[in-house]
Structure 1
Amino acid sequence: MTEQSAPQAMQSELEMAPWHKSTYSGTNNGCIEHAALPSGRHAVRDTKDRTLGAHTFAPTPWQAFVTAVRDGSL
């Protein structure tokens, strides 16, 4: 998966994003958050330090990643 396939999300889009914490996260914030952005891109950030920013992905590579995780091929 690469971030180079589409323009990066604007900072305001990330700040206004509806972030969702992984249900696999423990109480120590040792996991990730995901947001589906209005632009169609997907963003992922670390719950331990949200100030580090987020990685953004175009829809097609994101869906390929999700599919690979679900079917166990990753």
Structure 2
Amino acid sequence: MVTNERTITKWYKSSYSGGDQGECLEVARGHTEIPVRDSKTTPGPTLTFSTSGWAAFVTALKDGHLNAASCN
């Protein structure tokens, strides 16, 4: 668990963010759990996923099981 989100570094935008899709998702590398935040509200809340939870989420998106509509 990330106890202080201000200490999270190495944020990068998702490859699915940008252009006409809106820049909406950033992920940080190098942490035990996977921190995720809205790139339009970087001081806002951060979600954390277990590595298996993040892998399941990404797989569900790629397989079309979740609606990957615009983040606006």
Figure out how many residues of one structure are paired with residues of the other and give that number.
64
Structural RMSD (CA): 2.3
Stretches of structure 2 lacking an aligned partner (at least 5 in a row): 67-72
Higher helix share: 1
**Contact 1:37–1:43 (Cα < 8 Å) also in 2:** no
Structure 1: which 4+ aligned runs deviate by more than 2 Å? 14-17
Structure with the bigger RCO (C-alpha within 8 Å, sep 6+) is: 1
Give the fraction of aligned pairs with identical amino acids, expressed as a percent. Answer: 34
Q: Distance in 1 between matches of 2:23 and 2:8?
A: 23
Structure 1 stretches lacking a partner, 5+ long: 1-7
Contact kept? 2:13, 2:23, Cα under 8 Å: no
Of 57, 66, 69, the match for 2:49: 57
Letter in 2 for 1:10: T
TM-score (norm 2): 0.68
